[in-house]
């Protein structure tokens, strides 16, 4: 709807309608579109976990995530990219008393989270440039981070989203249904050491390949009889 449409519908002045819409945008119930109309915001959109493809990915990822937690001794998360945020669709917690807990159902700006940056680093430049228009700032710093993540094959979040939390993420190859996902390890910052980085990234890559393999196997199983042979 346009601003004037909202004012007419509610029987209020334009300035009052603008204040109401600004509050709705701030809370995530509305968003302003490029043509200056207003539409439903992220809070009103269905959670990606309701998507059958994402639900299937979550189920197929559990074994690999559990193995990852056993290997690194820290909690693991699976995230998917939706617009400019990542949604946490699955968590496997480690058993340590001091740990990063359940994150499923939460969402974070993609340009701040480890999994989000890992995914963004694999996207075409044209898609990354969208972040400049929404003030994913400082944008030049983000571009440098993504170049490094693309080179190294992983991204990190050192207290960018939450004080005392460090996370490392690796992107999965693009999955069927155009799902962009990543697997991450999150830990209390006080426990992180640089020496942990190499074995942690290796374990993340093993988990990512296992998830991709199970997804590809599931896709082949769903093919009609004879399709694989063709």
| 53 SS3 class | helix
**R_g of the chain, CA atoms, integer Å:** 20
Q: What is the pTM of this model?
A: 0.74
What pLDDT does 66 receive? 97
The C-alpha atoms of residue 18 and residue 210 are separated, in whole angstroms, by 50
CATH of 48-221, one of 1.10.357.10, 3.40.47.10, 3.30.450.40, 3.10.450.630: 3.30.450.40
What pLDDT does 135 receive? 56
Nearest to 142 by CA among 82, 133, 43: 133
Beta-sheet strands, E only, within 93-164? 107-109, 155-158
CATH number attached to the domain at 3-44: 1.10.10.10
Return the sign of the alpha-carbon dihedral for residues 133, 138, 144, 148.
Answer: negative
What pLDDT does 11 receive? 93
> What angle is formed at CA 16 by the lines to CA 15 and CA 17, rounded to 5 degrees?
90
Domain boundaries, the chain: 3-44, 48-221
Neighbours of 224 (CB within 10 A): 7
Residue-wise over 111-127: b if at least 16 C-beta within 10 A, else e?
Answer: bbbbbbbbbbbbbeeee
| 69 SS3 class | helix
What pLDDT does 133 receive? 58
Return the sign of the alpha-carbon dihedral for residues 94, 100, 105, 110.
Answer: negative
Residue 136 DSSP one-character state:
-
What pLDDT does 229 receive? 42
**pLDDT tens for the 230 residues of the chain, in order:** 999 999 999 999 999 999 999 988 877 788 888 788 898 876 676 666 557 788 889 999 999 999 999 999 999 999 999 878 899 999 999 999 999 999 988 889 898 999 999 999 998 887 777 666 555 557 788 888 999 999 999 999 999 999 999 999 999 998 776 789 999 999 999 999 999 999 999 999 999 999 999 877 665 556 554 544 44
């Amino acid at each position: 709807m346009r601003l004037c449409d909202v004012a007419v519908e509610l029987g209020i002045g334009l300035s009052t309608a603008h204040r109401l819409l600004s509050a709705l945008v701030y809370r995530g119930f509305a968003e302003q579109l490029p043509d200056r109309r207003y539409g439903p915001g992220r809070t009103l959109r269905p959670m990606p976990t309701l998507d059958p493809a994402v639900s299937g990915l979550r189920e197929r990822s559990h074994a690999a995530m559990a193995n990852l937690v056993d290997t690194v001794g820290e909690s693991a998360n699976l995230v998917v990219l939706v617009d400019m945020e990542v949604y946490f669709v699955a968590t496997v917690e480690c058993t340590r008393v001091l740990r990063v807990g359940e994150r499923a159902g939460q969402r974070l700006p993609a340009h701040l989270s480890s999994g989000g940056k890992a995914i963004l680093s694999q996207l075409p430049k044209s898609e990354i440039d969208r972040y400049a228009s929404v003030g994913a700032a400082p944008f030049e710093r983000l571009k440098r981070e993504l170049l490094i993540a693309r080179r190294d094959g992983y991204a990190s979040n050192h207290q960018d989203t939450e004080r005392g939390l460090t996370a490392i993420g690796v992107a999965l190859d693009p999955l069927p249904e155009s799902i962009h996902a990543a697997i991450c390890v999150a830990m209390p910052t006080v426990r992180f050491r640089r020496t942990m980085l190499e074995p942690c990234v290796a374990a993340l890559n093993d988990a990512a390949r296992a998830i991709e393999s199970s997804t590809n196997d599931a896709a082949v199983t769903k093919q009609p009889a004879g399709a694989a042979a063709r």
